[in-house]
Structure 1
Amino acid sequence: MDIKTFAKEHFEEYKALICQLTAIPAPSHHEERRAAFICEYLHQLGYGQAFIDDAKNVICEVKGSDLEAPVHIFMAHTDTVFPDETEIPVVVEDGCIKAPGVGDDTTNVCAILMTLKYLSEKKIVPKQTMVFALNSCEEGLGNLKGCRALVKQYTGRIGQLVSYDCGYNAGTVWAVGSRRYEIRIRTTGGHSYADFGATNAIAVAADMIHDFYEIDTNTMPGKTTYNVGLIEGGTSVNTIAQDVKILYEYRSDRMMGLELMEREMSVIVDKYTDREDARVDIEMIGDRPSMGQVDKKKMAELQKRAEGIIFRNTGVMPMFGSGSTDCNIPLSMGIPAICFGAYLGGGQHTREEYVRIDSLETGLCAAMEMICEDMTNPL
């Protein structure tokens, strides 16, 4: 049975698996219910070696015939951006499966599970050891915890890594790094009339934010950006604010861009920590590395192979570029890595997210072929 025949014959099973797994809530750091379902699913397929590690990754290692060959990793993240801890409603209508998290990244998790079902049925033994990981904490403040733990476990042994994430019309071959901070400003505050003139934490925060937005990134390498995404604080309209929290991040597709932004931010924050009328505390809450020194020839070969497989199966030529994904970890370490997905859809990171049912069979074929071809033609 070839890949296309398998995908066609198991299509309804695949669609049902997507709906079933999507309904299980999995906010970052709380993926345990999904992980348990996936691990049990793999055990039923005959992969008794599958286990859940301390980072809540489900890891299934398939030993190769050449134990000295570099390990190849295929992964998809189990967490979603949504905080829900009760069952997620899934609706199938208008040619789509609709639910928060259905595409990013549940469909891709299911594509790996179906590929493992195919490999089990065909009793395929790869040349090099293959590691299949359904990993935790890719989203937001998950800070790539799952991928970090996985790559650490296989340090020095990884030949390449493929992360299935989002759709097959686009992908990532260049890592955009980021650093995220919570900045808290406290002052004495007081009554807006009786204590007029007392330092207002909101006013201090506004001055700091103004200074952040005066940073000129045009002279920095690559594309470097920054953003204040959240401001919280104050008590009432007639109270001089005592406490304000700011969430601030900067991003760059170059390591040097991150370092330059670190210096700029430190100068600004130091200016405010020196004040006697305000206390400023800063905490790093996220740190994603940027692009490292990766073999250009190997990256070009990996991208060309992915493009060919996606186009051959779906008729779509994907656009590869930069992004922030689980691939940040291997790419920062010089390990060839690529990210693309197994469907078409929209509304990622919204409650209106959907995947197109008519894209699922061809997308599954692309995901399966990337793995199966890799078994016979290792880099």
Structure 2
Amino acid sequence: MIPTRVFAAAVALCLASPLAAQQTTYPSSWDPKLMERPDVKSALGMIEKNYPQQLDEWIRLTEMPGKSGQEQVRGAYVKSVFEKEGLKPTIDSIGNVIAVRKGTGGGPTIAIMAHIDVVFPNETVKKVRRSGDTLFAPGVGDNTASVANMLATLRTMNATTFTSKGDIIFIATTQEEVGLRGAEYWLRTNARPDLLIVPDGSYGSVAYGALGIYWTKFVFTSPGGHTLASRGRPTPVRALAAAIDRLYKLEFPALPNGAVLNIGQVSGGNIYNAVPQELYFTVDLRSSDPVLLDSLDRTIVRVTKAVAEEYKVGLRVEVEQKNQAGGTEKQLEGARAHPLVQTAVDINRALGMSAGMPGAQEAVATGATDANPGVVRKIPSIAIGGSKANGAHQLQEYAIASSALPSTKLLYLLTATFADGIKVVPPAKIVP
């Protein structure tokens, strides 16, 4: 039996713990008075006034071809907008379109990245169908809404003579959907920005972490042979089936602190009446924990090699990409404490932008966007919502037309908050 005084102390501790958890504070640079400043009020009013034109542009962009690696049409359009706004855009070797809005000096460099590619082949019909406040089209949410938001933010800045101490770099990135390649290339070949803001996340939520993303192709090979001579001969089909079955039986904790594994492609064989000479499957492995990510990657390779040996077929392992993990929630405590994160949370609240589902977190230590390579490089980086959307990477994708309006205001207010520097506005905010 537990002594009475010990039991009472334990109860008191249990009752106090939830309250203590609620008292976690994070620094913020958000000052609600900013929305009452005449120039900012004018800018927010202009965003609202011009939103019908922004919506039209969003639809036009959605209907343009933009498959990863083939974004030239969208890139040329963005470049023309940058030029009309008086900037001098450049296109780098991977296709990123970059324009710098110069600051007066002495402030943080802010990079704003919105990817212009989509997963769909260019021949996919992307005609936008509108029903009430809903837009239906492949790619309408991911990430075309955010491209229009970025362009509207630039136009608003120029129309209201917005000034910043640091440079603001607008970047329309390419090949995000095939491994964040445009963002990775730009960050690798340019000076490090002080802040990285990526409009390409969940509406009402702020992602400050980075899922590591490993893509690997496992190719099984054999001499092949006619069906009539196939009995008892090694076949890559059985090896592939056994390997996939064993990989899906692996046990590991689920996201957000664990991992996820998906077999995204299975392909091979040319004719009905022969043992195929080559079959393959692909693995998409993701985790924010770098140790777990590497451990699972080694396990997947080991299991697949063992299956190939067991079934007496050849195996070729082709690594497509290895985007590193940003770290677990505990490992990212320093990143969470940067004012950029809480400022975005506070502006979401000020604009009435909710993360949606009950219990959804306002700030999450994960992410699979162009912010990832920034997180890995220890650059203060976040991904924010571009619109309320659903069905990403599906032909049935849709977005709520009106939702990009507050998302655009969020992007503008975030940039305006840090235009003159990174500061903390007392009192510190309390995160429930």
Q: TM-score, normalised by structure 2?
A: 0.80
Distance 1:237 1:291 in 2: 46
Partner of 2:275: 240
Contact 1:222 1:257 in 2 (8 A): no
Instruction: Name which of structure 1's ranges 265-274 and 247-256 shifts more when overlaid on structure 2.
Output: 265-274
Q: What SS does structure 1 have at the residue aligned with 2:93?
A: coil
The alpha-carbon distance between structure 1 residues 219 and 23, as it changes in their structure 2 partners (threshold 3 A), is: closer
Contact 2:110 2:167 in 1 (8 A): yes
Distance 1:121 1:216 in 2: 55
The alpha-carbon distance between structure 1 residues 226 and 357, as it changes in their structure 2 partners (threshold 3 A), is: closer
Matched, 1:73 2:111: yes
Partner of 1:25: 65
Q: 2:96 aligns with which of 49, 52, 57?
A: 57
The alpha-carbon distance between structure 1 residues 87 and 203, as it changes in their structure 2 partners (threshold 3 A), is: closer
CA-CA distance at 1:240 after TM superposition: 2.9
Q: 1:197 aligns with which of 221, 225, 232?
A: 232
Q: TM-score, normalised by structure 1?
A: 0.90
Runs of 5+ in structure 2 lacking a partner?
Answer: 1-38, 356-360, 424-432
Q: 1:261 aligns with which of 291, 296, 304?
A: 296
CA-CA distance at 1:334 after TM superposition: 1.2
Contact 2:64 2:74 in 1 (8 A): yes
Matched, 1:10 2:54: no
Distance 1:184 1:357 in 2: 43
Question: Identity percentage over the alignment?
Answer: 23
The alpha-carbon distance between structure 1 residues 55 and 308, as it changes in their structure 2 partners (threshold 3 A), is: same
Q: 2:381 aligns with which of 321, 337, 349?
A: 337
Which protein has greater RCO, CA pairs closer than 8 Å, 6+ apart? 2
Q: Which runs of structure 2 are paired with 1:317-356 in the superposition (5 Å)?
A: 319-321=362-364, 322-356=366-400
Partner of 1:110: 148
Q: 1:130 aligns with which of 165, 168, 173?
A: 168
Contact 2:335 2:380 in 1 (8 A): no
Partner of 1:311: 349
Q: 1:251 aligns with which of 286, 304, 319?
A: 286
Distance 2:248 2:135 in 1: 41
Partner of 2:413: 369
Q: What SS does structure 1 have at the residue aligned with 2:194?
A: strand
Distance 1:207 1:97 in 2: 42
Contact 1:22 1:99 in 2 (8 A): yes
Distance 2:175 2:91 in 1: 14
Distance 1:316 1:271 in 2: 48
Distance 2:363 2:256 in 1: 20
Q: What SS does structure 2 have at the residue aligned with 1:73?
A: strand
The alpha-carbon distance between structure 1 residues 339 and 218, as it changes in their structure 2 partners (threshold 3 A), is: closer
- AA aligned opposite 1:355: A
Q: What SS does structure 1 have at the residue aligned with 2:283?
A: strand
Partner of 1:44: 84
The alpha-carbon distance between structure 1 residues 220 and 40, as it changes in their structure 2 partners (threshold 3 A), is: closer
- AA aligned opposite 2:94: A
Contact 2:115 2:172 in 1 (8 A): yes
The alpha-carbon distance between structure 1 residues 348 and 219, as it changes in their structure 2 partners (threshold 3 A), is: closer
Instruction: Name which of structure 1's ranges 227-236 and 117-126 shifts more when overlaid on structure 2.
Output: 227-236
Cα deviation digits, residues 300-320 of structure 1 (max 9, x gap): 522211011122123425733
Instruction: Name which of structure 1's ranges 286-295 and 184-193 shifts more when overlaid on structure 2.
Output: 286-295
CA-CA distance at 1:96 after TM superposition: 1.9
The alpha-carbon distance between structure 1 residues 266 and 237, as it changes in their structure 2 partners (threshold 3 A), is: same
Cα deviation digits, residues 51-79 of structure 1 (max 9, x gap): 21111111111222225x54221111101
Q: What SS does structure 1 have at the residue aligned with 2:209?
A: strand
Q: What SS does structure 1 have at the residue aligned with 2:67?
A: coil
Distance 1:221 1:303 in 2: 18
The alpha-carbon distance between structure 1 residues 315 and 229, as it changes in their structure 2 partners (threshold 3 A), is: closer
Runs of 5+ in structure 1 lacking a partner?
Answer: none
Partner of 1:296: 334
Distance 2:378 2:251 in 1: 29
The alpha-carbon distance between structure 1 residues 222 and 362, as it changes in their structure 2 partners (threshold 3 A), is: closer
Distance 1:252 1:350 in 2: 23
Q: 2:159 aligns with which of 116, 121, 124?
A: 121
Contact 1:253 1:291 in 2 (8 A): yes
Q: What SS does structure 2 have at the residue aligned with 1:371?
A: helix
- AA aligned opposite 1:365: K
CA-CA distance at 1:221 after TM superposition: 11
CA-CA distance at 1:353 after TM superposition: 1.9
Matched, 1:158 2:193: yes
The alpha-carbon distance between structure 1 residues 185 and 23, as it changes in their structure 2 partners (threshold 3 A), is: same
CA-CA distance at 1:358 after TM superposition: 2.7
Distance 1:360 1:245 in 2: 41
CA-CA distance at 1:87 after TM superposition: 6.5
- AA aligned opposite 2:214: R
Cα deviation digits, residues 218-271 of structure 1 (max 9, x gap): 499931232222221235555333321111122111111121123213323443
Q: What is the number of equivalent residue pairs in this alignment? A: 374
